[in-house]
A and B are shown apart, each in its own frame.
Chain A
């Protein structure tokens, strides 16, 4: 009799657990805000920080050679100081946006993108390499200036471009909404009403 009551008790508990689990809403990992932050980070990487022309201009040796040939020493020093400051700001921006993207991939990307296990492992490795490369790049820029870090710049931008391409696949569905709106001042005004 006691055994029967125990079995019935366990059964009722199991049913109750199942019922509660079925009624529970799916976990809302990665809300709209998280998605928007990830999209912003990706746009910032692709549009503001990674375009090859911008990177080339910040680190262009030909500009340094030109200034050396056309300007006095103090102007040349000011130019190198300016370029160093800009290069460090660029590397810091790259690093920050990579951290933002990594947060998205750690937290909620798997709920939106059907990445294979292998792709996720590769992405995790890329992020690890990229974080280390960004840190090294910042240190090198501080120590040796913008013209002593060509290899590091090339490595960091190469890996960042690859990571951005994978992230783009994960966030591709957000593009539809973005294409129907515009970042122009008029669209901005319309959005604000």
Chain B
């Protein structure tokens, strides 16, 4: 099989850019849920293309966009594969770093379901629904925990 030179070079660029992204930027996040939310935030809602200035300056805008898309799919897959108990732990950790009270966070996430836009574009509907269901149930479990320990829910960590 003959692969055109331009395609091979571009693929190499995407591989290097992905490794760069994983080692430098994504390594700062200890949880997959944080990585997913970060990667989804680099995507333009209207075009579906990803942007990262630092990565684009080291490689190319196209390679950076493809590397971000690739990492986004990988991280989404990791979250889809993890046990519900692990996902609940990750969500609990993520909520503890958000600048709002757990109660408020859960209310907002259940209301506007922002996790639905963190799913990569070409995801199969079954996987999409499984992910949304897992997050929904994780939020319900965390809410039930808060009800058992109400003092945690009202303690806001919002910066003054």
Inter-subunit contact B140/A75 (CB<8 Å) = yes
Residues of B within 8 A of A47 (CB): 124
Inter-subunit contact B122/A183 (CB<8 Å) = yes
Residues of B within 8 Å of A, CB-based: how many?
Answer: 34
Cα distance, A90 to B50, chains bound together (Å): 30
- Name the distance in Å between B17's Cβ and chain A's nearest Cβ: 12
Residues of A within 8 Å of B, CB-based: how many?
Answer: 37
The segment out of A3-11, A60-68, A152-160 that lies at the interface is A60-68
Which of chain B's residues has its CB closest to A188's CB? B48
The segment out of A51-59, A122-130, A131-139 that lies at the interface is A51-59
Task: Verify if B47 is at the interface (C-beta below 8 Å from A).
Answer: yes
Inter-subunit contact A182/B66 (CB<8 Å) = yes
- Interface centre among A85, A86, A179, A186, by most B CB within 10 Å? A186
Cα distance, A57 to B130, chains bound together (Å): 9
Inter-subunit contact A67/B84 (CB<8 Å) = yes
Cα distance, A47 to B123, chains bound together (Å): 10
Task: Verify if A147 is at the interface (C-beta below 8 Å from B).
Answer: no
Cα distance, A48 to B124, chains bound together (Å): 6
Cα distance, A115 to B144, chains bound together (Å): 58
Residues of B within 8 A of A67 (CB): 84, 137, 141
The segment out of B1-9, B27-35, B100-108, B150-158 that lies at the interface is B1-9
Task: Verify if B98 is at the interface (C-beta below 8 Å from A).
Answer: no
Residues of A within 8 A of B125 (CB): 89, 93
Q: Which of A100-134 contact B (CB under 8 A)?
A: none
Task: Verify if B88 is at the interface (C-beta below 8 Å from A).
Answer: yes
Which of chain A's residues has its CB closest to B120's CB? A185
> In the complex where A63-B83, A184-B70, A185-B69 touch, is A70 in contact with B130 (Cβ < 8 A)?
no
- Name the distance in Å between B14's Cβ and chain A's nearest Cβ: 8
Task: Verify if A39 is at the interface (C-beta below 8 Å from B).
Answer: no
Task: Verify if B95 is at the interface (C-beta below 8 Å from A).
Answer: no
Cβ-defined partner of B85 (8 Å) among A66, A93, A185: A66
- Interface of B toward A, CB cutoff 8 Å: 1, 3-4, 7, 47-50, 62, 65-66, 69-70, 80-81, 83-85, 88, 121-122, 124-127, 129-130, 133, 136-137, 140-141, 144-145
